[in-house]
């Protein structure tokens, strides 16, 4: 008779393209053990060495000869060539094309699960070429795959962040991981109207507008620089109405403890921390994923439709052996208690957006055909006047 009192062995993890360990931190919160981290960028390495001191760290996937014998292999490969804020060179670009090394390593490895995370734009860029390449390669290797687009707000953080989570396995059903939970997005009435997030680097074709949340924290912007989004704090006095969060706020908005990336300052300038955090995986997302990897659930197959090659990629799908199905799944697998934006970001300690950044954004906004609140435009104008007066007074 089996001993039912013996706890199951925790799943083991190898994290490739590990960044600052957002995936691994979440998986460990779900009870897993990380055996290997692989990351080439020195500032990220400094964070990993500090936060995961007992885990082996390899410095370059291109020189990694083989994967260790682990249950889960994760790979948040570079989004640089897939992101709207990046070069959009595609899946075979110099950075995003590094995923081919993962596929080569899987030729001689047998993990139970493979997990990939990347930006939403990979579903649409070049008519979905990136996703077609990935799923075709997994099918060639004998994997069943599934993916789901999720919004980090489901974990309770006030950051509207859409990311594709892909799970593949040769022996298990990835649908039981990604599609076992369904909560549906919370109603707009749940969001307060005292603060709105936006990207001051935009203004020509978009705002990155988010109610009671910040838009996606990015590793880079359309201007090619790592930068924070900004906040409009409604009814705040001039000079305090248009502000930017601190890096510690950004860490918490990604689910990390504050000062998680402090160790990067040993080898890099402070601004690099924004890129580290912007490139990371929201910890709560990987915690949900880890719980389901260890305890797969039941799947409701209602609403699944055949997905033919060449069709637009939906927000959720699965397939194997050349057959594919779209899945009716929202971006909200769970619905954790929501933390309002001003409960995470202390607006009284946030830095005011600079005069140059404010006037540049406002000028672009006024010239655009974008729809926006008149009160927002007025707040930008008043902030510019206040900042200009402060400079003159100095």
Tell me how far the alpha carbon of residue 69 is from its chain's centroid: 27
Residues with Cβ within 8 Å of residue 159, at least 6 apart in sequence: 152, 153, 213, 214, 215, 216, 217, 253, 254, 282
Alpha-carbon dihedral angle through residues 280, 282, 285, 287, given to the nearest 10 degrees: 90
Q: Label residue 29 by pLDDT band (50, 70, 90).
A: very high
Beta strands at 159-160 and 214-215: parallel, antiparallel or unpaired: parallel
Tokens 């939970």 locate to 181
Report which of 12, 9, 20, 79 is spatially closest to residue 282, judged by C-alpha positions: 20
pLDDT digits over 266-290, tens only? 999 999 999 999 999 999 999 999 9
Q: Which two tokens mark 319? A: 């397939």
Q: How far apart are CA 210 and CA 231, in angstroms?
A: 9
pTM of the predicted model as reported, rounded to 2 decimal places: 0.93
Residues with Cβ within 8 Å of residue 18, at least 6 apart in sequence: 24, 37, 38, 39, 44, 48, 74, 76
79 is catalytic: yes
pLDDT digits over 184-223, tens only? 999 999 999 999 999 998 888 888 999 999 999 987 654 4
Q: What is the pLDDT of residue 12?
A: 98
Which one is catalytic: 32, 79, 130, 242? Answer: 79
To which CATH superfamily is domain 12-186+281-326 assigned? Answer: Vaccinia Virus protein VP39 (3.40.50.150)
Domain chopping of the chain, boundaries = 12-186+281-326, 188-256+340-393
pLDDT digits over 132-160, tens only? 989 999 999 999 999 999 999 999 999 99
């Amino acid at each position: 008779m089996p001993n039912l009192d013996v706890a199951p062995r925790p799943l083991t993890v190898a994290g490739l393209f590990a960044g600052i360990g957002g995936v691994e931190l979440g998986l460990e919160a779900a009870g897993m053990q990380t055996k290997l981290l692989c990351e080439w960028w020195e500032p990220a390495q400094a964070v990993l060495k500090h936060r995961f001191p007992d885990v082996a760290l390899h410095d370059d996937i291109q020189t990694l000869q083989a994967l260790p014998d682990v249950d889960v292999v994760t790979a948040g490969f570079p989004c640089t060539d897939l992101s709207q804020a990046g070069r959009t060179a595609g899946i075979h670009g110099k950075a995003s094309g590094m995923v081919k090394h993962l596929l080569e390593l899987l030729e001689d490895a047998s993990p139970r699960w493979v997990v990939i995370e990347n930006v939403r734009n990979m579903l649409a860029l070049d008519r979905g070429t990136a996703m077609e390449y990935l799923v075709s390669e997994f099918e060639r290797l004998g994997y069943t795959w599934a993916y789901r687009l999720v919004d980090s707000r489901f974990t309770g953080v006030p950051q509207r962040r859409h990311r594709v989570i892909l799970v593949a396995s040769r022996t298990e059903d990835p649908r039981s991981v990604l599609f076992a939970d369904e909560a549906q997005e919370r109603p707009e009435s749940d969001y307060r109207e005292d603060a709105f997030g936006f990207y001051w680097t935009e203004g020509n074709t978009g705002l990155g507008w988010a109610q009671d949340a910040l838009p996606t924290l990015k590793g880079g912007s359309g201007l090619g620089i790592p930068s924070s989004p900004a906040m409009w704090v409604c009814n705040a006095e001039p000079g305090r109405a248009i502000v930017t969060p601190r890096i510690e706020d950004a860490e918490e908005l990604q689910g990390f403890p504050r000062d998680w990336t402090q160790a990067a300052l040993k080898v890099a300038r402070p601004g690099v921390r924004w890129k580290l955090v912007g490139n990371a995986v929201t910890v709560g997302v990987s915690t949900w994923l880890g719980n389901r990897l260890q305890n797969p659930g039941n799947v409701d197959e209602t609403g699944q439709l055949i997905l033919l090659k060449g069709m637009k990629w939906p927000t959720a799908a699965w397939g194997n052996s050349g057959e594919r199905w779209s899945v009716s799944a929202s971006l909200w697998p769970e619905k954790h208690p929501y933390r309002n934006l001003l409960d995470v970001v202390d607006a009284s300690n946030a830095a005011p957006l600079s005069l140059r950044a404010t006037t540049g954004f406002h000028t672009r906004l006024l010239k655009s055909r974008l729809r926006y609140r008149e009160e927002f435009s007025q707040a930008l104008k008043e902030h510019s006047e206040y900042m200009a007066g402060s400079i003159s007074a100095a």
